[in-house]
Amino acid sequence: MHDQNNPAGHYTAFEASPELRRVGEKLVWEVTQGNWHQHDALIEVIERFDRESGKALVLDAIHAMGLNRTAEHFVQSTVQSLSGTINKLTKQIVPKLDREQMTLAASHIRSLSITMPAENGFTAMVGYQIPDSLNERRIDSVRRIRDGNWKEEKRAISQQLNELGDLLLEEIYLKSVRMMGFGFFTEKLVQGGAVIGRGVKNQLINWAIGSLQEPEFMMLADYMDLRHLYLPEPMPHQFLYYPND
Q: pLDDT tens for residues 86-110?
A: 778 788 888 988 999 899 889 989 9
Q: Which residue has the higher pLDDT, 189 or 111?
A: 111
Rg (CA), the chain: 19
Residue 2: the pLDDT is 45
CB atoms < 10 A from the CB of 233, how many?
Answer: 10
Yes or no: say if 182 and 93 are a contact pair by the CB < 8 Å rule: yes
Residues 6+ apart with CB under 8 A from 25: 113, 239, 240, 241, 242
Residues of 122-154 as b/e, b for ≥16 C-beta within 10 angstroms?
eebbbbbbbeeebbebbeebbebbeeeebeebb
Distance CA 19, CA 10 (A): 25
Task: Give counts: helices (H), strands (E), the chain.
Answer: 10, 6
14 three-class SS: strand
Residue 200: the pLDDT is 64
- In this structure, of 25-29, 33-37, 51-55, 189-193, the range with the lowest mean pLDDT score is 189-193
The reported pTM is: 0.84
Chain mean pLDDT for the chain? 83
Amino acid at 56: A
If pLDDT is split at 50, 70 and 90, which confidence band does 40 have? very high
- In this structure, of 104-118, 134-148, 158-172, the range with the lowest mean pLDDT score is 158-172
The Cα diameter of the chain in Å comes to 56
Which DSSP string corresponds to 142-196? Answer: HHHHHTT--GGGHHHHHHHHHHHHHHHIIIIIIHHHHHHT--HHHHHHHHHHHHH
Distance CA 124, CA 17 (A): 8
